[in-house]
Amino acid sequence: MKIDQLGEFGLIDRIRAALPAHGPGVLTGIGDDVAVLEAGGRTGGEADTVWLATCDVLVEGSHFIRSRIPPGKLGRKALAVNLSDVASAGGTPRFALVSLGLPPDLDVEFIDGLYEGLREEGTRHGVDVVGGNVSRSRLGMFIDVFLLGEASRGRVVLRSGARPGDRVLLTGRVGDAAAGVALLLDPALRAPEPYASEAVERQFAPSPRVREGALIGRSKAATAMIDVSDGISGDLGHICERSGVNACLRADCLPVALENRALSRQVHGDEWHFALRGGEDYELLFTAPPARAAELARAITAETGTPVADIGEILPPDRPSELVLAGGERVPLGGAGWDHFKRERR
């Protein structure tokens, strides 16, 4: 079997099965946005604070086109995608390690710009870059960031707590980063300004919802949370799988720009494709009981200025996941989002 037959998430499951059982210091291991680790280690007593550990790699040709992205924005994005993972657990990011694979003929000024972006993003969110590694790469450039965050023990939000009846909530707007990829890859595509520039900027330099995630964690109102890195369909599918539930979304409640819907229809024949299956928006997708959902959404917007949309409901496992279109038609909501090993355009 080849990896592209198994797929990204099948490969992750296979890797998890190959590893030994976690030791006593691991509260949550493979299968969530972060690993949750005891701050006291294997021998220390139970601490009020836990560590949140995550890593993400950006690979030239897969995640970015070096000739098209300014190095400062690439540095910002490399850290931002990791910040988003910590935010999705309700935590506060603290320390980062950065490893680079570099072609030997790369201009040193590119690295200067890259670290300027890393420094700006780190300063914005109170993160110190404390080390890393550099290596020669003959096959293009990569940037691998390991991030350590922290959270109060009782405020970590995982993927596994959604319950039937919970509302499905979403920060910000989705689909724009995938539209930005399409515009970068196909010069023949057209989208009106300023939307086209906004979409490319969302792809180049996402804004992780760190303040929003910490607020959600402090509220203790959310039952499950994930960041939208693989598209709503895939990421909500991860929540449903881990929680043993399904979900119903309403298309008319999805926060998607009209220009995005038009471009998605032009590229994929489906106005919701970018939003549901594109990914890299790094918004927060979370669930909360109906009695607390509206209050939580209002609190997030009041404190951070970020809009929060109620886009659907968690269903019991015996009801299929579906998307309700504006005219009332119901279509299956497949769990497939972006997969690094499938040959499909965003």
Task: Determine which of 74-78, 125-129, 328-332 has the lowest per-residue pLDDT on average.
Answer: 328-332
pLDDT band at 77 (very low <50, low <70, confident <90, very high): very high
Query: Which 3 state secondary structure label does DSSP give 158?
Result: coil
Residue 328 clears pLDDT 80, i.e. is over it? yes
What is the predicted pLDDT for the residue at 32? 86
In single-letter form, the type of residue at position 138 comes to: R
Cis previous bond, 194, omega within 30: yes
Contact 279, 228 (CB under 8 A): yes
CA distances to 162, 242, 250, 313, 314 from 317, in Å? 11, 12, 18, 12, 9
pLDDT at residue 12, rounded to an integer: 75
pLDDT at residue 45 in the model: 54
Question: Residue 252: pLDDT above 90?
Answer: yes
Res 8: pLDDT? 73
Looking at residue 337, its pLDDT comes to 47
What is the predicted pLDDT for the residue at 307?
98
pLDDT at 46: 62
So what's the pLDDT on residue 342? 55
In which band, very low, low, confident or very high, does the pLDDT at 335 lie, cut at 50, 70 and 90?
low
Residue scoring higher pLDDT (307 or 39): 307
Give 223-286 as a DSSP string: SEEEE-SS-HHHHHHHHHHHHT-EEEEEGGGS---HHHHHHHHHHHS-TTHIIIII-----EEE
Mean local confidence (pLDDT), 146-172: 96
Tell me what pLDDT residue 16 has.
80
Stretch among 41-45, 54-58, 118-122, 226-230 having the lowest mean pLDDT? 41-45
| pTM assigned to the model | 0.91
What confidence score (pLDDT) does residue 7 get? 77
User: Domains in the chain and their CATH numbers?
Assistant: 3-155 (3.30.1330.10), 167-332 (3.90.650.10)
Mean pLDDT of the chain: 92
Average pLDDT score over residue span 220-241: 95
* Mean pLDDT across 224-231: 95
Give the separation between CA 104 and CA 140, rounded to whole angstroms.
10
338 has a pLDDT exceeding 50: no
Tens digit of each residue's pLDDT (9 = 90 or more) over 112-126? 999 999 999 999 999
Which residue type does 57 have?
A: V
Binned at pLDDT 50, 70 and 90, residue 327 comes out as confident
Predicted pLDDT at 345: 47
292-322, pLDDT tens digit by residue? 999 999 999 999 999 999 999 999 999 999 9
Read off the pLDDT of each residue in 59-73 and give the average, rounded to a whole number.
93
